[in-house]
Amino acid sequence: MTEIQPWWSNSVFYQVYPRSFQDSNGDGVGDLDGVTSRLDYLADLGVDALWLNPVMVSPMVDHGYDVADPRDVDPLFGGLGALERLIDAAHARNIRVTMDLVPNHSSSQHPWFQAALAAGPGTEQRERYIFRDGTGPGGLHPPNNWVSVFGGHAWTRVVEPDGNPGQWYLHLFDAEQPDLNWENPEIAEDLEKTLRFWLDRGVDGFRIDVAHGMAKPPGLPDMRNPDLPMLTLDDDDPRFNHDDVHDHHRGIRRVLNDYPEAVTIGEIWVFDNEDFAKYLRPDELHLGFNFRLVRAGFDAAEIREAIENSLAAAALADSTPTWCLSNHDVEREVSRYGDGDVGRRRAEAMALVMLALPGTVFVYTGEELGLPNVDLPDEVLQDPTWERSGREERGRDGCRVPMPWSGDRPPYGFSDTADTWLPMPPDWAALTVAAQDADADSTLALYRRAIALRHQRGDVVGRPVEFVDLAPDVVAFRTAGMLCVLNAGASPVPLPAGELLLASAPAVDAVPADAAVWLRLDDH
Ligand code: GLC
C-alpha cells in the first residue's frame, strides 16, 4: 500500500529574503508586492513553496527578527494587504507560502516590553521576560556569564522608573531582542493567537526561529565556554536545547493539528543526532533544518559524512530529511567553496548533490544565480553583530545583498533607486536573471533543469540512499533509480555507465573536477 506523503516531504522551498528580492515602491528595500510581481519567475524555477523571512511589524534592528506586533505586516513590506495579495497569487500558481515565526524573543518596542520597563521590578509585566537582579555590589554585574550570539553580554541593565540603575534582562541576541519567559503561560497563549491569525489567512506553515531556544534552565547556570563565537556549536551550552523546549513545541503542534496541511520547520542548531531527532517526534515539529551540508567544506569525506548524518538524524525520528547549502545567516556557498569560477562550479556541483537527495530542499534567494558573498564597506554594515562584536565580526550583510534581475549596473532591476538598502556590486551584470536566461549553461539554467528533473522523478521520499565507492575524492550515491556523482578532487574521474541526465559541467566520458552528474540507472 502506498502511503500518501504530505506535500512538504518532497518539496523545493525557496527562501525569500523580502528586503532583497524585489522592491515595488522605489524605497530601495524589497517588499511583498515585489515578491508577488516575481512569482512567475519562481514558478518557472519550479519551486513548490516559499519561506518568507519575517515580515511582521518591527523596528528592523535585526531586520524583522525583532517583532513589535506579531499579528500585522510591517508597512515597509506593504502591510497585511500585500501579504494577502501574495498568498492569493502564489496559491493560484500552486506555490505555498510559509512565514518566519519568532517565539524566543520580541522587540524591545513590543508593548509588553515597554510595559515591563515602566512597571518596575516584581511586577507581573516583568514576568513576560527574563529580568534578574545583578550580582556584586549594588547589582553592578550581570546575573550570569552568558554571552549574546551577536557578541557582548547577553544581559542589559535597565534604568528603573525611579531613575536608578536596576535589574538586568536577558537577550540571547541583540539588546533590542529581549528573550520571552516561556515559563509564563501567557506567552504560549499569545503565540497560539499568532499561529491562528496567520493560518486563518491561508499561510501554509512556519519556519520557527531559534526553535532550540525558548526554554531556559532553572537557575540560569553559567556557560562553561562563553568565548565560543556566534551560533553555538557546543551542545552543552545552557542557553539552548533545554528539555522543556519540547513542551513548547508540543503546544505549537496541538494548534497546527487543527490545520492538517500546514507545516512547521524548526531552526535547530543542535548537532547530536539523538537530541536533534527529539524535535521531530510525532507530536512536535514536522521538519528541522539540518545544517550539516552548510558546515561541510568542499571535501568528499566531509560531504558524505554530512549526508549520512542528516539521513541518520531524520531516520531516528522517522522524519523527512532536509537539505540546504545556505541561508540569510551564513556566507554564500560560492564564496565558502573558494569564490570566483571555482567557487561557482563547486556550488553548482553541490546543487546537484542537494537536489538529488530525498527530502525537503531549501534554496536561498540568489543561490540559483550563483551569487557570491559581497565584501561591503564598514559604513554600510547593518547586522547588529558588527557593533556588538566590537567591529570584529562583519556579520551577515554580505549574503543579503539584493537580487540582480536585469541591466548592466546597480540596481539591476531590483528597485527604481540605485540607493538600495545594501549597495549592489558594479560587476554583477553577468549574474542577472536576464543574462542567465540567455545562457543555456548558466547556474540558473542548471537549477531549473535540476528542479524540473527532480519533479519528474516523482516521489523520492523515503527511498534509500546507497553510497558507492567510485574513487577517492568522489561522493557517489544511488537513490530512486539515479546515480549522483560528485568529483571533489583535482582530476577527472571516468563517467560511470548510465544515461547522462544532467551535468554541472561538460561531461563526455569523465566527470571533471569540481563537477557533479546525474545518471539514470538501467535497473529502474
Ligand atoms: C535566527 C535567524 C537570524 C536571527 C536570529 C535571532 O538565527 O535566522 O537571522 O538574527 O535567529 O532572531
Strands (E), 36-164: 49-52, 56-57, 69-73, 96-101, 131-132, 155-159
Grid coordinates 556579520 are at which residue? 395
Q: Whose CA is nearest to atom 9 of ligand 1?
A: 329
| Residue keyed to cell 523580502 | 18
Number of compact structural domains in the chain: 3
Band of residue 459 on the pLDDT scale cut at 50, 70, 90: low
Atom of ligand 1 nearest to the CA of 62: 10
Please list the residues that pair with 52 across neighbouring strands: 16, 99
Per-residue pLDDT tens digits for 64-121: 999 999 999 999 999 999 999 999 999 999 999 999 999 999 999 999 999 999 999 9
pLDDT exceeds 60 at position 22: yes
Q: Is residue 42 part of a domain?
A: yes
Measured distance CA(521)–CA(287) in Å, rounded = 30
Confidence class of residue 196 from pLDDT cuts 50, 70 and 90? very high
Higher pLDDT, 75 or 463: 75
Q: Could you write out the DSSP letters of every residue in 173-196?
A: S-TTSPBB-TTSHHHHHHHHHHHH
- Per-residue CA distances from 522 to 189, 357, 474, 497, 500 (Å): 55, 19, 21, 9, 11
- DSSP letter string, 280-330: TSTTS-SEE---HHHH--S-HHHHHHHHHHHHHHHHHTT---EEES--TTS
CB 401 within 8 A of CB 415: no
Q: Is residue 132 part of a domain?
A: yes
The protein residue with its alpha carbon nearest to ligand 1, atom 7, reads: 210
Say how far apart CA 122 and CA 143 lie, in whole Å: 16
Examine the residue annotation and report whether 378 is marked as an active-site residue of this protein.
Answer: no
Per the listing, cell 550581570 goes with 142
Dihedral angle, C-alpha 8, 261, 268, 16, nearest 10 °: 70
Higher pLDDT pick, 84 / 232: 84
Residues 215, 136 share a domain = no
Q: To 5 degrees, how large is the angle CA 188–CA 189–CA 193?
A: 110
Which candidate in 23, 176, 190, 267 is catalytic?
267
Residue 132, phi then psi, degrees to nearest 5:
-145, 155
Instruction: Give the number of residues written for the chain.
Output: 524
Q: Is the model's pLDDT at 3 over the cut of 70?
A: no
Cell numbers standing for residue 287: 521538519
H helix runs in 98-146, sequence order: 111-119
213 and 292 together in one domain: yes
Ligand 1 within 6 A of CB of 311: no
Task: Give backbone dihedrals phi and psi of 22, rounded to 5 degrees, phi first.
Answer: -160, 130
Q: What is the pLDDT of residue 1?
A: 36
Same domain, 163 and 293: no
Question: Which ligand 1 atom is at minimum distance from the Cα of 174?
Answer: 6
* pLDDT range class, residue 226, cuts 50, 70, 90: confident
Whether the CB-CB separation of 31 and 80 falls below 8 Å is answered with: no
Q: Are 39 and 49 in contact (CB under 8 A)?
A: no
Q: 418 phi and psi, to 5 degrees?
A: -80, -10
The finding on whether 483 has its CB within 6 A of some atom of ligand 1 is no
Cβ-proximal residues to 368 (8 Å cutoff; 6+ apart), any chain:
45, 443, 444, 447, 448
Q: Are 310 and 294 in contact (CB under 8 A)?
A: no
Nearest protein CA to atom 4 of ligand 1, as residue: 65
401 CA distance to ligand 1 middle (Å)? 17
Q: Is the peptide bond before 464 cis (omega within 30 degrees of 0)?
A: no
Ligand 1 neighbour 208 (Cβ under 6 A): no
Ligand 1: centre distance to CA 190 (Å): 21
Min mean pLDDT across 3-12, 18-27, 281-290 is at 3-12
- Are 327 and 279 found together in one domain? yes
Catalytic residue among 66, 100, 209, 348: 209
Q: Are 322 and 342 found together in one domain?
A: yes
Residues 401-435: tens digit of each pLDDT: 999 999 999 999 999 999 999 999 999 999 999 99
509: domain CATH number is 2.60.40.1180
Other beta carbons within 10 angstroms of residue 201's beta carbon come to: 14
Name the residue of 176, 232, 326, 329 whose CB sits within 8 Å of the most ligand 1 atoms, as the mutation to test its pocket. Answer: 329
Q: What is the mean pLDDT of residues 125-139?
A: 97
Q: Is 287 exposed, middle or buried (0-12, 13-18, 19+ CB in 10 A)?
A: buried
In this structure, the answer to whether residues 144 and 34 fall within a common structural domain is no
Domain boundary among 170, 193, 217: 170
Report the distance separating Cα 421 and Cα 145, nearest Å.
35
Please tell me if the CB atom of residue 66 comes closer than 6 angstroms to any atom of ligand 1.
no
Q: Does residue 460 sit within a domain?
A: no
Mean pLDDT for the chain overall? 95
Sign of the alpha-carbon dihedral angle for 514, 519, 521, 524:
positive
Lowest-pLDDT range of 146-150, 174-178, 234-238, 258-262:
234-238
> If phi over 0 gives left and psi between -120 and 50 gives alpha, with beta otherwise, what is residue 237?
beta
Same domain membership, residue 428 and residue 516: no
- What's the confidence (pLDDT) of residue 234? 66
Q: Which of 391, 390, 394, 388 lies closest to 150, judged by CA?
A: 388
* SS3 (DSSP) at 501: strand
Please list, residue by residue across 173-189, b when 16 or more beta carbons sit within 10 angstroms of its beta carbon and e when fewer do: bbbbbbbbbbeeeebbe
Q: Is residue 2 part of a domain?
A: no
Q: Where are the beta strands (DSSP E) in 27-74?
A: 49-52, 56-57, 69-73
- Report the helix count and the strand count for the chain, using DSSP H and E: 14, 20
| Percentage of residues in the chain having pLDDT higher than 90 | 93
How does DSSP assign 216-256, residue by residue?
A: --TT-PPPS-TT--SS---TT-TTS--TTHHHHHHHHHHHH
Residue indicated by cell numbers 518566519: 100
Rg (alpha carbons) of the chain, rounded to whole number = 23
Specify the pTM: 0.97
202 shares its domain with 285: yes
159: helix, coil or strand? strand
The residue type found at 484 is: C
* Mean pLDDT on 489-503: 96
- From the CB of 65, is ligand 1 less than 6 Å away? yes
Binned at pLDDT 50, 70 and 90, residue 228 comes out as low
Q: How confident is the model at residue 229 (pLDDT cuts 50, 70, 90)?
A: low
Q: Is 173 in the pocket of ligand 1 (CB under 6 A)?
A: yes
Neighbours of 520 (CB within 10 A): 15
Active site residue 204: no
Regarding whether 391 and 432 lie in a shared domain, the answer is: yes
**Whose CA is closest to atom 5 on ligand 1?**
65
pLDDT of 480 reads 87
Among all chains, which residue has been given the C-alpha cell 562553561? 224
The arithmetic mean of pLDDT across residues 293-319, rounded, is 96
| Whole-angstrom distance, CA of residue 395 vs CA of residue 379 | 13
Range of the domain at 133: 111-170
Query: Does residue 212 fall inside a structural domain?
Result: yes
Say what the pLDDT of residue 373 is. 98
- Identify whether residues 481 and 359 lie together within a single domain: no
Residues 152 and 209 in one domain: no
Domain containing 148 — which CATH number? 3.90.400.10
Whether residue 224 sits in one domain with residue 166: no
pLDDT confidence of 2, banded at 50, 70, 90?
Answer: very low
